[in-house]
Structures are given as C-alpha cells and as structure tokens.
Amino acid sequence: MAYRIVTLPGDGIGPEIMAPTLEVLRAVGEFEFEEHLFGGASIDAHGVALTDEVLGACKAADAVLLAAVGGPKWDTTDPKKPRPEQGLLGLRKGLGLYANLRPVKPIAALYDSSPLRRERIERTDLLVVRELTGGIYFGEKTRTETSATDVCSYTEEEIERIARVAFRAARSKVTSVDKANVLETSRLWREVVMRVHSAEFPHVQLEHVLVDNAAMMLVSSPRHFDVIVTENMFGDILSDEAAMLTGSIGMLPSASLGDSGPGLFEPVHGSAPDIAGQGIANPLAMFLSAALMLRHGLGLESEAAAVESAVSRALEDGLRTPDLGGGEDTRTATRAVLDHLNRS
C-alpha cells in the first residue's frame, strides 16, 4: 500500500522545490501525493492561511511535506489581517507537533562554503530540539495604539515532554538552553529539565547554557554540542544560526513530530521571494527534509539513507547552486541527485 503524503508547496520558491522533491521520492518508493493550498496562496484563495479542510487532510495523511510560506505580498503589521505564518502555527498546534528536530551536520564537500573556518566546523554533528507549540509564539497577545504584549508561558508538562525527546536522542550529552538569570519561564524550564534528567536519564550528561552564550558557542565551538534542547523562540533563532555551519540555510532540513499522528517535514529556509520564478532555488534542504520524512515519519530508514547519500555524492561531484557559490540551477541539482539515486 502506498503511503499518503499531503504536500503543501506554499509560496515563493515553494512550488519550485516541491516538484523535484516528489521526483526524488518516486525514485525510492511508492507514494500517493495530495496537494493543497497553504500560507499566502491560501490567503489569496480563501482568506485564511490554513483552512479546516486542509487541516483535516493533513490529519488523515501518513505525513505532511511543506516547502515554504510567506512573502512581502502578505507582510502586514495589522493584527486583523491574516499572515502566512499563522497557517504554520495552526498546523503545528492542530497536529500536536510539539518537537522540532533540526540536525546540523556539515557535509565534508561543503566545509569551504561555510563562512566559518574549516577547522571550526569539521566533525560537527549536533541536533537542535526545539519546543514548538508553547512559549511566546502561542501566548496571549494584546495591542493598543501605544503598547503591545506577547505572553511567554510554559507548563511543566510541555517542558517534560520536550526534555524526554532530547534525552532520548542524545548520544552522550544534552545542552539545555534558557535565560534563567532573567526569565521566570526559563527558571521553571531549568528545574523541570533537571528533574526529568535525574529521574529518567541520569546516564546522559546534562549542562545548562544561557541563550546568549549558546549563540556564541555555536559559531566558536560547534563540536561542543550533541543535543541542544530549548524553548520555541530561542530554538527558532539558534537553529537558523546553526544553518550557517552547513554553508547555506538552503541545506538545513527539519522534522516536527508529536506523540501520534502525521509529522510535518520542511526545510528551514524561507520562501526566498527575491529568486522565485528564476529556477535557481537550492532544492537540497527540501530533499533532506523528505529524507527525514522517510525516516521519522514513515520508518523507511534505508530509503532515507539513500536520499541523503545521493545528496552528499552530488555535492562531492561538484554540484553547487548559487547560494553555495556555484551556478547550477534547480533542475541541474535535481538531475544530479536523481542520477546517484538511480545508480544505487
């Protein structure tokens, strides 16, 4: 039986990187793809970024594959107007996706593409585990003519479950990132993470690092980290920073998972409206997100490894899209990866 995948091409370069990703997936298995409007495209068609129909289709799928959302067309500071990002937040909440996994492992062929020196990033292999449905992004919001508030709120249960995800993923160490010297939510975060550690995972090393120090360490000594676990906004910022270790944000995939039901898989990069329609978008983070879907969403480990290997070998052969300092376009990048998949 073919797995049922809901695809959400979204906005900007989204449709341009979704189409070749389906080619890559067809090369490793049988899937049924069901495409829906999402983000800005959905706002244009339906007035909202995520319709009830699309959310229902996602809940009924085996996995959800998302390309990108947003763009200047829908940018607004008016709280009454819809924004594409509201669809993403609604999808995470609706599917119960509280754990965002962002692996950061620079490919050897791209060491020299990173703005950091090779010796700084060599052998980096870390995982950012970001809490995805709590914190300031989902807290109560107020707005008057002269002031605004965004409430950051966490419960013990929300912190416990994301801490368990991090400890289970760790090979040796978990670095819990907070701002406990200032924020009450961070103090609760630290207390709960320590309690989960001592009660359930005493064999895993645990350290606590303040978020500003963690930001510095990511670029000065990234090999220090094994698993980083942190709250929603800190994880959003740190994982984008970590993307530069790989040479380009166009290389970083992510997986968003819950306790049950379908996961959501998407590249970390945005919709890149400045290059949309030019056919030069880097599809590799999208391919690697599909690999995470195969592994974490569908349990297809060998197929996931095949896609990741094909991407690595294409880069070793010299494939470079414009964001990596080269001139190959989306179609050329796709052909290079498919050629290696077809040889394996």
pLDDT in tens, the chain (344 residues): 799 999 999 999 999 999 999 999 999 999 999 999 999 999 999 999 999 999 999 999 999 999 999 999 998 888 788 999 899 989 999 999 999 999 999 888 888 878 888 889 999 999 999 999 999 998 999 999 999 999 999 999 999 999 999 999 999 999 999 999 999 999 999 999 999 999 999 999 999 999 999 999 999 999 999 999 999 999 999 988 988 888 777 788 999 999 988 999 999 888 999 999 999 999 999 999 999 999 999 999 999 999 999 999 999 999 999 988 899 999 999 999 999 998 86
**Helix 330-343 vs helix 301-316: angle between axes, to the nearest 10 degrees?**
120
Separation of alpha carbons 311 and 31, rounded Å: 21
Going along the chain from its start, the domains and CATH numbers come out as: 1-97+252-344 (3.40.718.10), 115-246 (3.40.718.10)
Residue type, 65: L
CA torsion, ordered 89, 94, 100, 101, to nearest 10 deg: -130
Which residues partner with 5 through β-bridges? 33, 63
Cα–Cα–Cα angle for 298, 303, 307, nearest 5°? 115
Separation of alpha carbons 222 and 115, rounded Å: 13
Separation of alpha carbons 264 and 297, rounded Å: 8
Give the CB-side neighbour count of residue 55, counting CA atoms within 13 A: 17
pLDDT at 80: 82
Separation of alpha carbons 183 and 204, rounded Å: 26
Separation of alpha carbons 191 and 273, rounded Å: 42
Separation of alpha carbons 114 and 92, rounded Å: 31
Q: Token digits for 152? A: 């950051």
Query: How far is residue 285 from each of residues 22, 71, 78, measured CA to CA in Å?
Result: 13, 19, 32
Structural contact between residues 157 and 128, judged by C-beta atoms closer than 8 angstroms:
no
Secondary element (H or E) of residue 210? strand 205-210
Which residues partner with 178 through β-bridges? 210
Q: Cite the active site residues.
A: 137, 179, 212, 236, 240
Task: Supply the pTM of this predicted model.
Answer: 0.90
Query: How far is residue 94 from each of residues 52, 121, 254, measured CA to CA in Å?
Result: 10, 37, 18
Separation of alpha carbons 243 and 272, rounded Å: 16
pLDDT at 343: 83
- Within its chain, how far is the Cα of 229 from the centroid? 14
Secondary element (H or E) of residue 212? helix 211-220
DSSP 10-61: ESTTHHHHHHHHHHHHHTTS-EEEEE---THHHHHHHSSSS-HHHHHHHHHS
Residue type, 99: A
